[in-house]
Structure 1
Amino acid sequence: MKNRLKNILFICSRNKWRSLTAETIYKNNSDFNVKSAGTENSARIKINSKLLVWANLIFVMEKHHKEKLILNFPDETKNAKIIILEIPDIYRFMDNELIDEIRISVSEYL
């Protein structure tokens, strides 16, 4: 049985390599609405309350991203499903290894 359309949010630090790659991989999948953001002030798209409330499922690349979300958005994250992917900041946008890591890490949740 198909799930209803899920709103999926990918988060890394600057939203330039990891989370943007994840968004790019999944954005054309008709089962999901996908967005990405970053936790740093220098992020391409900075995380905000509206994005967190929009998301049914939030994937963060590292533990410190989840900690930052909970610290800065306690109300929005109280009941949120936040999954830590454990993908370090060692890749560039759309690196093949990064794509593989994201797909493998995310697959069990989608």
Structure 2
Amino acid sequence: MFASRPGVETASAGLAPDAEEQCSAELVEWAGIIFVMERAHRARLQRRFRPHLKRARVICLDIPDDYAFMQPELAALLEKRVGRFL
């Protein structure tokens, strides 16, 4: 969603076992900012990748993870909450 912004490189990965793209230590180390939707996601990320989170800033968007992929309401919330950090 944000990949077309100038100067922004993006990647998407999940923490759930069935995520299409799994989060990895390499991806966490690459990131400058990591956005998570819920506080539970932030806690899970920190538990699994704490040694690799030295550089990345983790930002919780406080968006319930119950939207369909790219549901218009979700896209609007993401634009509003992520946009100010980019």
Equivalent in the alignment of 1:45? 21
Structure 2, unmatched stretches of 5+, are: none
Where do 4+ consecutive residues of structure 1 move more than 6 Å? none
The offset of 1:79, in angstroms, is: 4.2
RMSD of equivalent CA atoms: 1.2
**Alignment TM-score, normalising by the size of structure 1:** 0.73
Q: Which has the higher strand share?
A: 1
Q: With a CA cutoff of 8 Å and minimum separation of 6, indicate the structure with the bigger relative contact order.
A: 1
* CA distance in structure 2 between the aligned counterparts of 1:78 and 1:63, rounded to whole angstroms: 19
Residues 1:54 and 2:30 are matched in the alignment: yes
Which residue identity is paired with 2:28?
Answer: L
* CA distance in structure 2 between the aligned counterparts of 1:70 and 1:86, rounded to whole angstroms: 16
Question: What is the DSSP-based 3-state SS (H/G/I as helix, E as strand, rest coil) of the residue aligned with 2:77?
Answer: helix
Conserved in 1, the CA contact under 8 Å of 2:39 and 2:60?
yes
Out of 3, 9, 12, the residue aligned to residue 36 of structure 1 is 12
Matched residue count:
86
Conserved in 1, the CA contact under 8 Å of 2:46 and 2:53?
yes
Residue identity over aligned pairs, in percent, reads 34
1:14-56 deviation per Cα after TM superposition (whole angstroms, max 9, x unaligned): xxxxxxxxxxx11222321100000011110111100000101
